[in-house]
A = this chain, B = another copy of it.
Amino acid sequence: MPHFRALDKLDRKLLNHLQKDNQIPTRVLADKLHVSQPTCLRRIRDLREAGVINADISMVDPFALGYGMLAFLEVSLLNQADEFMHEFEARMNKEAEVMQCYFVSGEYDYFVVVHVIDMDAYYQFVRRAISGPGNVRHFHSRFPMKKTKFTTRIAFDEKAAELQVKTGK
């Protein structure tokens, strides 16, 4: 049974901390926020169960591993019937090189962010996943020279705090 509740100040403070570091002991976090350790833990558990916290992960630096090449790939499909769009999206979901994929309006249908080792790997990716399988009318590549910012942290301002949040199941 789905229910709704609003995020209060404590929730927002917790999220702001956990977005930076989720390995901090609940005891330390509790002290910082002037609540007890079990309260801290309970709130975090609830945020996870509610899906506000999607996942708890280690961030790996792609450049530290030789994945120095990034590409923006714009794709327009031949056939835009629902099943074909789903087929394309499913394919992108399976491809490990695809970091992000967006359905966009305008000249192209999809905007895809691809992370690969080098140009050869990118070429192979395009042949295998884009031009190979068919149903692609046109595609266009751009190569960002530098990633100057990348964050998964979202900001919690007052307005957002007042919004109702769908929690739990």
CB pair A103 B19 closer than 8 Å: no
Q: List residues of chain A with CB under 8 Å of any chain B CB.
A: 7, 15, 18-23, 50-62, 64-67, 70, 72, 89, 92-93, 96-106, 110-111, 115, 117, 121, 142-157, 159-160, 163-166
Q: Which of B20, B70, B89 contacts A55 (CB 8 A)?
A: B20
CB pair A58 B149 closer than 8 Å: no
Number of copies: 2
- Cβ–Cβ < 8 Å partners of A145 in chain B: 102-105
CA distance A149 to B59 in the complex (A): 17
Known contacts A58-B53, A105-B142, A151-B99; A111 and B72 CB within 8 A of each other = yes
Min CB–CB distance A12 → chain B (angstroms): 9
Show 12 A/B contacts (Cβ-Cβ < 8 Å), sorted by A: A22-B58, A52-B64, A53-B59, A54-B59, A55-B58, A59-B152, A62-B154, A66-B160, A67-B160, A100-B150, A102-B148, A103-B146
